Amino acid sequence: MAHDVVRSSLVDEQSSDTTSTQPVQHSTQKINLLGMSRANLERFFEEIGEKKFRAGQIIKWIHQYFVTDFAQMSNISGKLREKLQQRCEIKAPEVVHRHYSKDGTRKWVFRVGEGAGSLVETVLIPADDKSGARKTLCISSQVGCALDCSFCSTGKQGFQRDLSTDEIIGQLWIANQSYMEDVDIPERTRSVTNVVMMGMGEPLLNFKPVVESMSLMLDDFAYGMSKRRVTLSTSGIVPMIDKLSEELDVALAISLHAPNDELRNELVPINKKYPLQQLISAAQRYIRKDGNESARKHVTIEYVMLEGVNDQDIHAQQMVRLLKDLPSKINLIPFNPFPHAPYGRSSRNRIMTFQKILSDAGFVCTIRQTRGDDIDAACGQLVGQVADRTRRAEQWKKKVAQQNEIVRSQG
Ligand code: SF4
């Protein structure tokens, strides 16, 4: 989605990351092992005449111990260490800013190329409870995004490029490493527990690197995360939802944001290609009724609350009808206005009324907490406050206001 929406009261630390997350310098011809899944690494070792089990050992060194220097991998023979040193590297994206909030939220900005348009963001949101045990990392999959959802600051930046597997998994690698070194919090809570592919970009349009990264998240030799705690959020690339279904058992979230095609065509333009009925059918196919352990018992519906646009009772009633045959949990997201945003945030009362209609109809419906309204820190905002290139959103806002006026005047 939008893949954004959380703001935090961020305290800007010094921009350069001075921790050992900095990769060692290597020639660009070397193979970066950071983004290799176990299957690919096994193939790689076979190709260089080594045993497959080395893959598991190396993956542990990289993803559990954060070792970037092959010389420190003590259970690997000296000869192999030398071979790896010559041909390979372990290189994470460069951290150019990091921000640690008073409320526990952490945010990183990574440079993944040259120039202003080559920055991506990752946000870590701790649970809003005393234990602070749950820590959800929102990971980006692309630099910018081509889908141009009208309420999204990332969409306004346009698409730059896809992230590679090492640039995607590198975000989790750096977030986890930041906790490993944090002596101010209890040791048992020093790691990311949940991941959502909900940062910049549409993850299903960068399919292979995203799937490979998620397979590392699930791999016991790497992060060993529960499949129910790894979620891919999509704006609705229907054929790729089916493809994901064949490849991985992870949780699915749909960035819905509108309960009818006319409105969704404007808010989430990919809807013109894959309209709501197709999207809901794909989500139904994704659900698995077998196996208690499946991550696919329901889908999460993300719905950003835009004042006067998609937050009326009629929209909630349309949602009830639309989702009646889809096992789902609904997450209402108060909009975080960004500079030049053409929308406002729905009032608390409006959101609660909307929630009540859905809850009364039997849906589990939560309201996402927002943080730090004082700083423009939602995903896509720190990398550049860019002008809305299309003006389309502004035009649509006017159109919606006119329509609402007509509805009101008709009683
Ligand atoms: S423009 Fe891209 S990043 Fe933004 S909400 Fe749409 S799909 Fe997500």
- 278-290 pLDDT per residue, tens: 999 999 999 976 6
* Residue 399 pLDDT class (50, 70, 90 cuts): low
For the stretch 167-187, pLDDT in tens is: 999 999 999 988 776 666 656
Q: In percent, how much of the chain has pLDDT > 90?
A: 65
Q: Please state the residue numbers annotated as binding site for [4Fe-4S] cluster.
A: 145, 149, 152
For the stretch 325-355, pLDDT in tens is: 999 999 999 998 888 888 999 999 999 999 9
User: Residue 76: what pLDDT?
Assistant: 93
Strand blocks (E) in 189-286:
194-197, 230-234, 251-255
Q: Please state the residue numbers annotated as binding site for S-adenosyl-L-methionine.
A: 201-202, 233, 255-257, 336
One-letter amino acid of 278: Q
The CATH fold assigned to 94-408 is TIM Barrel (3.20.20)
Distance 226 CA to ligand 1 centre (A): 26
User: Residue 393: what pLDDT?
Assistant: 45
Does the C-beta of 42 come closer than 6 Å to ligand 1? no
For the sheet containing 94-101, what is the strand order?
A: 10-12, 94-101, 106-111, 119-126, 135-138, 194-197, 230-234, 251-255, 299-305, 328-334, 364-367
Cα–Cα distance measured from residue 220 to residue 202, given in angstroms and rounded to the nearest whole number: 27
Ligand 1 closest atom vs CA 202 = 7
372 pLDDT more than 80 = no
Contact 217, 225 (CB under 8 A): yes
Q: Which of 18-22, 69-73, 171-175, 270-274 has the lowest mean pLDDT?
A: 18-22
Does the C-beta of 152 come closer than 6 Å to ligand 1? yes
* Residue 369 pLDDT class (50, 70, 90 cuts): confident
Domain ranges of the chain: 23-89, 94-408
Query: Looking at domain 23-89, which of 1.10.150.530, 3.30.300.10, 1.10.645.10, 2.40.30.170 is its CATH number?
Result: 1.10.150.530
Does the C-beta of 200 come closer than 6 Å to ligand 1? yes
Does the C-beta of 235 come closer than 6 Å to ligand 1? yes
Distance 203 CA to ligand 1 centre (A): 10
Active site residues: 121, 379
Does the C-beta of 112 come closer than 6 Å to ligand 1? no
Q: What is the mean pLDDT of residues 212-232?
A: 96
382 pLDDT more than 50 = no
Q: What is the mean pLDDT of residues 13-41?
A: 62
Ligand 1 closest atom vs CA 2 = 5
Cα–Cα distance measured from residue 134 to residue 189, given in angstroms and rounded to the nearest whole number: 8
Backbone angles phi, psi at 304, to 5 degrees: -80, 135
Same fold, 23-89 and 94-408: no
**What integer best gives the mean pLDDT of the chain?**
84
Ligand 1 closest atom vs CA 154 = 4
- Name which residue leads in pLDDT, 257 or 401: 257
Distance 340 CA to ligand 1 centre (A): 17
* Residue 227 pLDDT class (50, 70, 90 cuts): very high
User: Residue 56: what pLDDT?
Assistant: 96
How many degrees, rounded to 5, is the angle at CA 318 between CA 360 and CA 263? Answer: 140
Tokens of 404: 């609402």
Burial class from Cβ neighbours inside 10 Å (0-12, 13-18, 19+) for residue 179 reads middle
389 pLDDT more than 60 = no
